Amino acid sequence: MAAENFFDLTGQTAMVTGASRGLGQYFARALARAGADLILTSRRSEEIAPFAAEMRALGRSVVTLDLDVRERASIERMGEQVKALGGQVQILVNNAGCNVRKPALEVSWEDWNLVLDTNLRGSFFVAQALARGMARHGYGRVINIGSVTSVAGYAGLGPYCASRGGIRQLTMSLADDWGRYGITVNCLAPGWFQTAQNRVMYEDAEWVRYLEDRIPLKRAGLPNDLDGAVVFLASEASRYVTGQTLLVDGGISTGAVRATRQAKAGKKSEGN
């Protein structure tokens, strides 16, 4: 394949879970623009209808499915529906997720189960369901959506950080397990992007200024900042990349801003 065609997804089918809103739709749009047909899932697939129509207007084939990643029967039913469609799913974007934002001392058993069952257990069993078909065909791209919390911890996000850290470790395990079948497994880890889950935080101008000051690129992420990364991980351009976590976070995970401040503070102390 010529280098200029490395990012062409024409003839491939991508499933994006949690595609009723937010980053899931941006991932799906980027893949569709690169040529992929789509299978879009949500707990209530009728919510995806307007977006599915938009994707069909790009000339893509689009199927919508009901999928609750917390429910075993729902995942099994999805697997059967994909088989019935008759085609192979080459690309999976494991995007469905949720969050409970509470101080650790207030997190309930139910809070923990909701977040871990959705973000971690659900991602594993959805990937397993589709990887069976990928293994039979000797090809697949699994993209698990993680977060900057896959590598850094934040107060008030205990279950979420645990689930996203787990996604990073799961990605490495599956990459080792499924590489023999021609399946790559990688984690795409966004930094701070405004979504439905955190919109209320972005209504606090002081918090936004604090956040942007900590990001080396001095702004929060825009959804289309993720387009290149998801297409890269879905395409032949990443054919020798597996088990990796690709952070798209403006540099906040480097800790560079904090370290610079500490260095300046140290110099001042030495001067005194």
What are the catalytic residues?
Answer: 160
Q: Locate 70 and state its tokens.
A: 């917390």
H or E stretch at 101? none
Q: Give, rounded to a whole angstrom, the gap between the first and last alpha carbons of the chain.
A: 63
Rounded CA-CA distance 263/224 in Å is 34
Cβ contacts of 47-50, under 8 Å, gap ≥ 24: 47/20, 47/21, 48/19, 48/20
- Rounded to the nearest 5 percent, the helix, strand and coil shares of the chain are 55, 15, 30
Q: Is the dihedral angle over the CA atoms 141, 76, 125, 160 positive or is it negative?
A: positive
